[in-house]
């Protein structure tokens, strides 16, 4: 697992080398970034202002698809239209988890939005929800409507009520 911070990365869509020493990227989540040294995909970390390799993401992290990006952007832009937010962030990291989108409301309520485009097991879903609950964060799971997200047959699906 590579732990090095990367300051120089290739922006694939723009076909440009980007150096964090000189500026911060605008909308970094919209682009694909490759490490300038090993050419593997890296991800911009807003908190530390550096790029990081995939290995630093939580275990169940998968490379981001266009659909997943769109889902995140939709909620990032739509949620504040109907909720009085004081903070919003993409890829909000806390502990070993990263919320796709994170909001803090004026009344102190914290909301994480998880956009799930790929299959997830009930067990993972429950574990991740519990971790949010432990930190007093409400989590809103958004599933891609194609019906394959929860990786168990539909007739085995149970609805689980979480107490906050
Ligand atoms: Zn590298």
How far apart are the CA of 13 and the centre of ligand 1, in A? 18
Predicted pLDDT at 140: 92
First to last CA, the chain: 36
Cα of 88 from ligand 1 centre, angstroms? 29
CA 101-127-88 angle, to 5 degrees, is 15
- 57 CA to centre of ligand 1 in angstroms: 14
**What does each of the 164 residues of the chain score in pLDDT, given as a tens digit?**
445 778 999 999 899 999 999 999 988 888 889 998 888 888 888 878 889 886 444 444 556 777 888 889 999 999 999 999 999 999 888 777 889 999 999 999 999 999 887 777 888 889 889 999 999 999 999 887 654 555 554 443 444 444 44
- Pairing type for strands 137-143 and 85-94 reads unpaired
115 C-alpha vs ligand 1 centroid, how far in Å?
27
Q: What is the pLDDT of residues 52-86, one digit of tens each?
A: 886 444 444 556 777 888 889 999 999 999 999 99
Neighbours of 127 (CB within 10 A): 12
Going from the Cα of 35 to the center of ligand 1, the distance in angstroms, rounded, reads 5
Q: How many A from CA of 59 to the centre of ligand 1? A: 19
pTM over 0.85: no
């Amino acid at each position: 697992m590579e732990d090095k911070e990367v300051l120089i990365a290739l922006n694939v869509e723009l076909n440009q080398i980007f150096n964090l020493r000189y500026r911060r990227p605008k909308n970094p989540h919209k682009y694909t970034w490759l490490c300038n040294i090993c050419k593997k995909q890296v991800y911009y970390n807003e908190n530390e202002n550096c790029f990081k390799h995939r290995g630093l993401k939580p275990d169940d992290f998968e490379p981001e698809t266009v659909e997943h990006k769109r889902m995140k952007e939709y909620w990032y832009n739509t949620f504040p239209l109907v909720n009085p937010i004081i903070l919003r962030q993409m890829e909000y990291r806390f502990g070993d988890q990263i919320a796709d989108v994170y909001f803090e409301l004026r009344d102190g309520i914290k909301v994480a939005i998880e956009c799930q485009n790929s299959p997830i097991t009930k067990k993972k879903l429950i574990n991740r929800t519990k971790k949010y609950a432990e930190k007093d964060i409400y989590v809103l799971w958004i599933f891609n409507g194609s019906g394959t997200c929860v990786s168990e047959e539909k007739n085995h699906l149970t609805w689980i009520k979480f107490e906050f």
